[in-house]
Amino acid sequence: ETIHKAHPTVSWADLIQLASATAIEMAGGPVIKMKYGRVSVTGPEQCAGPQSRAGFKGNAGLPDAAPGPDGTFGCGAKSPEEHLRNVFGKKMGFTDQDIVALSGAHTIGRVFKERSGACPFGYGEQAASKYTKGNCVVRKDKKSGCGMVGGAAWTKNWLTFDNSYFADYKQAMDDDNLMWLPTDACLHEDPEFKKYFYKYAGDQAAFFQDYASAHKK
């Protein structure tokens, strides 16, 4: 709010994108040469509706954590790899390489029980996983302080942007205090996705380059 008031000619969309690119760079990730110039809407009638894309159910804008009781995802897919390709490929125009690279952003961030319900860990110190408590050192600069505590992360150093999401995925699969969803597992199981998954596991520079390119899109 404060930044937008000081720079009213900059749209909210551009501010959000600037914040995301800056946060990734500050966390140790690549410099993303963003293209700015997005225009803010002036009313809800200018926003895309929840069913604005043919073939998708309502509120299917981002991937689901897991399929529903009938085994299907929100877009109607029967498998997590089909779900990712529907959401990121058909809806947004991303390639398989882009999808895997963007999934690598799970190297930072967390899941909360109160939000998605995809993990048993929630808000606050008492509900945190052992890697998201207030005394955990997770920042790139190795300093203390992680902001809001709680939830569960995909990586142990969840405020450091690197390729550990790919390189250390077996740790996440075997540790109940870390996240690994069906849409993560399919990245190292699907014949096309895994080409890029294992490439990024062994080459952080390649991951950074491809991530920056996909993020800019």
In tens, the pLDDT along 121-169 reads: 999 999 999 999 999 999 999 999 999 999 999 999 999 999 999 999 9
**Cβ-contact 210, 97 below 8 angstroms:** yes
Question: Whole-angstrom Cα distance, residue 107 to residue 89?
Answer: 22
**Cβ-contact 63, 84 below 8 angstroms:** yes
Classify residue 40 by its DSSP letter: -
* Residue corresponding to tokens 């804008």: 61
What's residue 42's pLDDT?
86
DSSP per-residue letters across 87-144? IIIITT---HHHHHHHHGGGGS-EE-TTTT--SS--BSTTT--TTSSTT---BTT--S
12 contacts: CB under 8 Å, gap ≥ 6: 4, 40
Question: Whole-angstrom Cα distance, residue 25 to residue 216?
Answer: 13
The number of beta carbons lying within 10 Å of the beta carbon of residue 62 is 10
What's residue 27's pLDDT?
96
In the chain, % of residues over pLDDT 90: 74
In tens, the pLDDT along 76-130 reads: 899 999 999 988 998 889 999 999 999 999 999 999 999 988 999 999 999 999 9
